[in-house]
Amino acid sequence: MLRVALIILCLSSLWLGIVWPRPNSGPIAAQQMPSRAPFSLELPDIGTAPITAVETHIPTTELRTMKLTVRQPFADAINYGKIYTAINGEAANTICGNIRSSRVGKVITCDLESKPRFHFQTGKNVVEISAIDHNNQSYYASYVLIAGKESIGGGTPGTESSPPIKFSGRKFAVIIGVSQYEFRDAGLNNLQYADSDARSISEFLLSPAGGAFKTSDILYMENGGATTEVVRDALMRFLPKAGPNDLVFISIASHGSPDPFTLFHLA
């Protein structure tokens, strides 16, 4: 009996010694708050309700603006300069600089049209927002937006979009790839993939996705068969075949150098 009493006494002591969790307030409560709690995302172009979920499907990539909100009561403790945004891995503060206060918190409006590299793409897009408050507490949320291929229109009401223009001319292509160089002492080292890239382009142009060029309308030269004289002579004989409504595609994979008079590079 004495042994049983001692065991019960020990268990009672352990029970009384346990510190049970209770609601916190102040900085401790903020640390236990979910990191994404202050944020929500809105897409006005498609009229969605505020998004808080980690992953959401949206019907289109045709978006002009995006709004991110730092909600109350967190917003009062976060300065404007401590809010950071990113779209698909690239810092987006340059297009998300419009921040205003509202009754719900601080609203950041991102102009997705101002820079093409921030346009949404079909499939997966990742939007990130982070902030640091006066107590140096960090918050972070990411939103995975799976975009579909639907169009939201945007044309003049009552009018139909024009059908795509079908190209009816003849299509010519000049493809040159040089990986092997004879005069390497001048710094023209051999290249690994220029000739294979040129072959890939030529094969692609023959496919329906590449325009279904005719084999007879593709002039292909590579390595030792693409000397200056041969290329010049071939172009003089080949290019005059093209008429006013025809298309000429030229691709040169080789060493290049900057043109001193323009921003382009010459192969």
CATH number of the domain where residue 92 is located: 2.60.40
End-of-domain residue from the set 147, 179, 198: 147
pLDDT of residue 12: 40
Residue 9 belongs to some domain of the structure: no
251 domain residue, yes or no: yes
Residues 38 and 106 in one domain: yes
pLDDT at 57: 93
Gap between the Cα atoms of 57 and 68, Å rounded: 17
Whether residues 116 and 197 fall in one domain: no
pLDDT means per 10 residues in the chain (267 residues)?
Answer: 36 36 38 74 88 91 93 92 90 90 93 90 92 90 91 52 69 90 75 87 88 90 87 86 88 74 52
**pTM of the entire structure?**
0.48
Q: Is residue 110 part of a domain?
A: yes
pLDDT of residue 156: 40
pLDDT value of position 195: 87
Q: Say how far apart CA 83 and CA 38 lie, in whole Å.
A: 12
> Residues 141, 38: one domain?
yes
- Among residues 37, 27, 35, 26, the alpha carbon closest in space to that of 105 is found at 37
How far apart CA 136 and CA 60 sit, in angstroms, is 37
The torsion defined by the Cα of 52, 54, 60 and 63, in degrees rounded to 10, comes to 60
Is residue 196 domain-resident? yes
Give the residue numbers spanning the domain of 60: 33-147
| DSSP state for residue 196 in the 8-state scheme | H
Question: How far is the C-alpha of 211 from the C-alpha of 205, rounded, in Å?
Answer: 6
For residue 153, what pLDDT is reported? Answer: 59
| CB of 243 closer than 8 Å to CB of 168 | no
141 and 175 fall within a common domain: no
Residue 155 included in any domain: no
- Report if residue 2 sits inside a domain: no
Report residue 251: phi and psi, to 5°: -130, 125
Are 192 and 88 in a shared domain?
no
The pLDDT of residue 261 is: 55
185 and 262 housed in the same domain: yes
Same domain, 37 and 142: yes
Residues 197 and 137 in one domain: no
Domain boundary among 131, 147, 163: 147
In a domain, 72, yes or no: yes
Query: Domain boundary at 147, 179, 195, which?
Result: 147
Instruction: Say how far apart CA 48 and CA 63 lie, in whole Å.
Output: 12
How far lies 267's CA from each of 11, 35, 97, 252, in Å? 84, 52, 40, 7
- 137 with 177, same domain: the answer is no
- In degrees, rounded to 5, the angle at the alpha carbon of residue 13 between the alpha carbons of residues 12 and 18 is 100
Q: Within a 10 A sphere around the Cβ of 153, how many other Cβ atoms? A: 10
| In a domain? residue 11 | no
Overall number of domains in the chain: 2
Residues 39 and 142 sit within 8 Å (Cβ to Cβ):
no
Token pair recorded at residue 181? 């160089």
pLDDT at position 210 is 84
Do 78 and 180 fall into the same domain? no
Strands (E) in the chain, as ranges, are: 39-42, 55-58, 65-71, 78-87, 90-91, 98-102, 105-111, 123-133, 138-147, 171-177, 218-222, 247-253, 257-258, 265-266
Residues 37 and 141 in one domain: yes
Per DSSP bridges, beta strands 123-133 and 78-87 are antiparallel
pLDDT of residue 39: 94
CA 207: distance to chain centroid? 28
